[in-house]
A and B are shown apart, each in its own frame.
Chain A
Amino acid sequence: MLCGGRGFGRGGGHATVPFVAANPWFSWSYITQHASELLSATRQHVALTVWSVLVATCIAVPMAVVARRWGWSRGTILTGVGILYTIPSLALISVLQAYFGLRPITVEIALVGYALLIIVRNTLIGLDGVPAEVREAALGMGFGPTRLLTRVEIPLALPSIMAGIRVATVSTIALVTVGAIVGNGGLGGLILEGLNNLYRAEIMAAALGCVLLAFIADLLLLGLQRLVTPWTRRRAG
């Protein structure tokens, strides 16, 4: 089984490697020879992540606002997203595939479900942290509930919301790989293929790709966070 690795060894045409295929932990030549395969897997990985985090944000922030405004719903919402988060990804994806099949949406729904908890919780922490005096001052200036929310509370909660989105994004990038089980796992597809071929360089390249993606995404979101909350920088500097 070990010899069943792919034909591409290290040395190209004139390699005099023995029959037992080399199975290095890391191989640059794998990466250069399979650049297009890696790139398209990465593209799917990014697409799954961006879609899932965006949708999760659009659901989670209103959920947190509801939880904050109507106290009775707070426990229900937090428990609900908590239960969803506890369900193992493989279990959730398997259930979803029974109804949605081997399509990206199966993975995306699961990813949205897991990102919800992180973003709802961080948004709530941010909204809870808005000082009562600030809220009262805004009300005193004649702000209605909608304007209070959009002009005062959300902007003040933004650093916390953005922190949640960053954590959710990094976790989602790692989690996308499990989607390979239903044929839509971005770089996870290469991990599964590497498992079937027992080819380490492929698994390692995909794993490192995920870590690199997570790192880049975190930096980009940090930049975005600074951009949308310029006042935090001014205060610090």
Chain B
Amino acid sequence: MNTILGTWHWLTTAEHYRGTAGVPHRLLEHVVISGIAVGLAVLIALPLGLWLGHVGHGGAVAINVSNIGRAIPTFAILVLLATVPSLFGDAGAVLALLVFAIPPILTNAYVGMREVDPDVREAAVGMGMAGITLVRRVELPLALPLVAAGVRTATVQVVATATLAAYVGAGGLGRFIADGFGLQDTPMILSGAILVALLALVTEIGLGRLEVGLTPGRRRGSPTPGDAAQVRG
């Protein structure tokens, strides 16, 4: 009971919302670190996955990268990168998060493009479409549900894993948990945990809504490969 009251007290203390160690600034750090990692991952993995799916090669690589990614502990990669002095902190965190954001985006883009009905593709080719036009007008719109699911999965995972980055000197909401353990301040730890969980849930639900809005044809509630490709952190 004391812990719950203490946590409530921590969360309602105005002092914890001011300055560079305050909740708003930590939230901003969390969002910026995650945003940069996801942005870079999309820039790298999306064109590659779409292209591999379009030409129909490299399937084993595009799919296995997700399976291997699942077996590698994110915590280990974060810590390994942090042993490079120039990477200790935000830079190493972004790099580690990037590594784990690529597989779901790549795999889903590839699978999405491959699952386009061959008849539809053939009809488009018969109508004189080829190359970029075929991708842009036919394949990509049909692959969009899976592509979007991949980006959502990667984003939710990055937001969650960014919490761990506090242990390797990065900013973000995870700081409250890591510092709280250091100070043996349970209300601080629990407040951090609540804030992080809320951010992850808001991200998941928000992107889920966005995805449904973007892809009206998708069957609701049917699991997609993207859901299974997530790596926990």
Contact = CB atoms under 8 A, between A and B. Distances in A.
A204 B75 CA distance: 11
Interface stretch (A49-57, A86-94, A132-140): A86-94
Contacts of B50: none
B83 A203 contact: yes
B172 to A, nearest CB: 11
B167 interface: yes
Nearest to A79: B221
Contact of A173 (B71, B168, B180): B71
Contact of B193 (A23, A86, A95): A95
Contacts of A215: 71
Contacts of A114: 232
Contact of B228 (A89, A95, A167): A167
B174 A175 contact: no
Interface in B204-231: 204, 221, 223, 227-228, 231
B44 interface: no
Interface stretch (A6-14, A31-39, A193-201): A193-201
Interface residues of B, number: 45
Given A174-B71, A195-B167, A91 B201 contact: no
Q: Is the interface of B mostly helix, strand, loop or mixed?
A: helix
Contact of A203 (B80, B196, B204, B233): B80
Contacts of A195: 79, 82-83, 167-168
Nearest to A97: B189
**Listed residue (A88, A89, A173, A204) with the most chain B CB atoms within 10 angstroms of its CB:** A88
B74 interface: yes
A207 B72 contact: yes
B85 interface: yes
B108 interface: no
A83 B80 CA distance: 30
B197 interface: yes
A88 B163 CA distance: 7
B160 A94 contact: no
A78 B221 contact: yes
B61 to A, nearest CB: 18
Nearest to A111: B232
Interface string B68-81: 00111111110110
B190 A95 contact: yes
Given A91-B163, A94-B190, A98-B3, A191 B232 contact: no
Contacts of A199: 83
The 9 closest A-B pairs by CB, nearest first: A207-B76, A214-B71, A88-B160, A91-B193, A177-B73, A174-B73, A91-B196, A177-B75, A94-B193
Interface of B: 3, 67, 70-77, 79-80, 82-83, 85, 156, 159-161, 163-164, 167-168, 174, 177, 180-181, 186, 189-190, 192-194, 196-197, 200-201, 204, 221, 223, 227-228, 231-233
